[in-house]
A and B are shown apart, each in its own frame.
Chain A
């Protein structure tokens, strides 16, 4: 209950209003009852008084009537008018003649005239027959006495008493009202107001700090119970708040801990990220280096290959060549060198391994072969021996252990008058893949080179193993040279392309020129491998005797 609830809306004011209303109503009822009883009593009293008065004067009146004495009658009547309630009196003789009559002068009472008459009008008229006792038991009527009372006079006293009684009752009631309201205020309203003030003053943040004091004398009543319940509620709220605060504090600690851990982890992660970035940079640099190395290897391989112009310039022999480096460049080698009188020297080889070192070995091989060809060295054993020693020693110096298969072919056209009918003469030396020859008409011949040498760079002396074989070529005969990149090209099921299939394609296209045969083989190999990557370089040379 706040200040706004006090005043006319306050509990005390309400209680006072109700009490006053009840008391006033009771007072009115009591006053009316009082007046009613007083009215009855007054009527009785007036009637008794009148009876007594008439008894008192009746002797004199009898005498006056008997004697028919107007003086005596007048005294009797005057005596009656000595009572202020008597308005008029008359004495008559037994003949009905008036002996004396007196009437009070009318008063100017207009106010209570009707009410007084209503209250007391019915008891205003008294009449007594005057009887004289004669002889022993005889009586004789001598006259009559009439008295008329003034209801107004009678009522005046009634009015005065009623007023006083009503005033007293009202005063008494008001006193009781004051007492009741005061006691109610002291016992209930004031502790309640104090309780309300304490409750409204409770800090919502700390409800337990302002427990309500037990009003004195109320420990065992309803107010005390209310205070006890309120305090229990406040205490429970405080406990709840305390627990909440505790939980909040715990949560805050956890949050801080989590933030700290997140920060730590973030630092660790950024450190790791920096490390990864550094590694990435190194890796990128390494990739660039490897990419550069591959690029260099590929260029080395490509730059020493015979040009299309060189191949086209060769007379008597239709030559086509194809080389496709693997994603990791291998060490395939081939060269076609045309000399005087239609002579053509062909080399084809395969260095083990991939990458820059294989490329370098291939380049050395190309240079050495070309050097020997330029020096017009024709003896196969001598050529292979020099090549092997050069490569063997160089690779030892380089610290790598590569070796290569290498076949050298020496072609020269035959004059028509040679008597053999053949148009070309081809010698093969050195160990490499088998030489495929498709004769005019489609007959296939395979020339194994296993017994013509040994991989170069493996041992310091290959001379015991070097041999030569001769192939005579008729017009229309085709010679196919290749590296294992073709025969070992694998499909997704790891099935190798194989020598047999290569031969089949070559035989099937025996009529075609060298370029068409080359293209047919390359297309068929690609069909075989599909989308598989090239594991090894693919090299193909097709020679067709014109």
Chain B
């Protein structure tokens, strides 16, 4: 597990062995422009095969962040070569409804909310 992006209250870690990207902390960046580095990393991380997006440590994600994730899911869906799993937590309020949108955008997505 290595930290690839780190910000004031957040970090993005990557575990190459399990091909898992973990978003942690509080993400309150302004617009998709500020989310671009994270989006680029997640988009480039896995061109094909399985990939897990671990959001269990992400306490807060604002609407721009949700839009960023939505676009990532649409991109992965269109690529048709990535088997995407999203890990969420019931304990975190924003995830309950927002992660459902990801399923709507990509029905093949595996959502595991514990």
Contacts and interface: CB of A to CB of B under 8 A. Distances in A.
Q: Do A and B bind each other?
A: yes
Interface of A: 328, 350, 352-355, 358, 400-403, 405, 431, 434, 448, 450-451, 454-455, 458-459, 465, 484, 488, 494, 496, 498-499, 535-536
Interface in B35-74: 60, 62-64, 66-67, 70-71, 74
Given A401-B71, A454-B104, A458-B71, 4 more contacts: A353-B64, A403-B70, A454-B105, A455-B101
Contacts of B66: 352, 455
A276 to B, nearest CB: 27
A352 B100 contact: no
B93 A352 contact: no
B70 to A, nearest CB: 5
A455 B60 contact: no
Contacts of A454: 101, 104-105
Interface string B74-106: 100000000000000000010001001100110
A455 B67 contact: yes
Contacts of A355: 31
B107 to A, nearest CB: 10
Contact of A458 (B9, B64, B100, B105): B105
Nearest to A494: B26
B28 A535 contact: yes
A352 B97 contact: no
The secondary structure that dominates the A interface is loop
A521 B105 CA distance: 34
Contacts of B62: 484, 488, 535-536
Given A401-B32, A458-B74, A352 B63 contact: yes
B3 interface: no
A12 B40 CA distance: 113
B67 A401 contact: yes
B26 A350 contact: no
A545 to B, nearest CB: 26
Contact of A496 (B31, B60, B100): B60
A458 B70 contact: yes
Contacts of A358: 31
A440 to B, nearest CB: 28
Contacts of B30: 328, 353-354
**What 5 A-B pairs are tightest by C-beta distance, nearest first?**
A353-B31, A450-B97, A352-B64, A352-B67, A352-B63
A354 B31 contact: yes
Contacts of B32: 352-353, 400-402
12 contacts: A350-B63, A352-B32, A352-B64, A353-B31, A355-B31, A402-B67, A451-B100, A454-B104, A455-B67, A458-B74, A465-B104, A484-B63
A402 B93 CA distance: 23
Contacts of A465: 104
B93 A498 contact: yes
Nearest to B77: A459
Nearest to A330: B63
Contacts of A448: 97
Given A353-B32, A401-B32, A458-B70, A450 B101 contact: yes
B71 to A, nearest CB: 7
A352 B31 contact: yes
Contact of A403 (B26, B67, B93, B104): B67
A232 to B, nearest CB: 79
A350 B64 CA distance: 10
Interface string B1-44: 00000000100000000000000001010111000000000000
Nearest to A353: B31
A271 B113 CA distance: 60
